[in-house]
Amino acid sequence: MKITGNIESIEYRNTAGHEKKVVTLAPGYRQRAFVEFRGRRMADLDQFKENDEIEVTVTLEGKISKNSGIQYNNLVAQGITSTSQQLEPTI
């Protein structure tokens, strides 16, 4: 699945030793998309900044909390390209 939008923010998170960067995308309508960049994918964000228009290829990960039974869905980045500068995709 691909999502296109402008970067609103890039936030670094480290939870229980699991590092990731979370990008908040504004895809052009009222909703926001929160995309996780994990592991080596975090470095893919180094060339981007807030307000850049990008296209992100994502996979959808669904999880159920073992403790509470709460269901979660995560958008996990697999690739990113700039739609405003036409950079080569990083895979």
What confidence score (pLDDT) does residue 16 get? 83
The whole model's pTM is what? 0.79
- The larger pLDDT score, comparing residue 87 to residue 58, is at 58
| Tens-digit pLDDT profile for residues 26-36 | 977 788 999 99
pLDDT of residue 4: 92
Helix (H), strand (E), coil (C) string for the chain: CEEEEEEEEEEEEEECCEEEEEEEEECCCCCCEEEEEEHHHHHHHHHCCCCCEEEEEEEEEEEECCCCCCEEEEEEEEEEEECCCCCCCEC
CATH architecture of 2-82: Beta Barrel (2.40)
Q: Which two tokens stand for residue 20?
A: 């990731």
Q: What is the pLDDT of residue 84?
A: 77
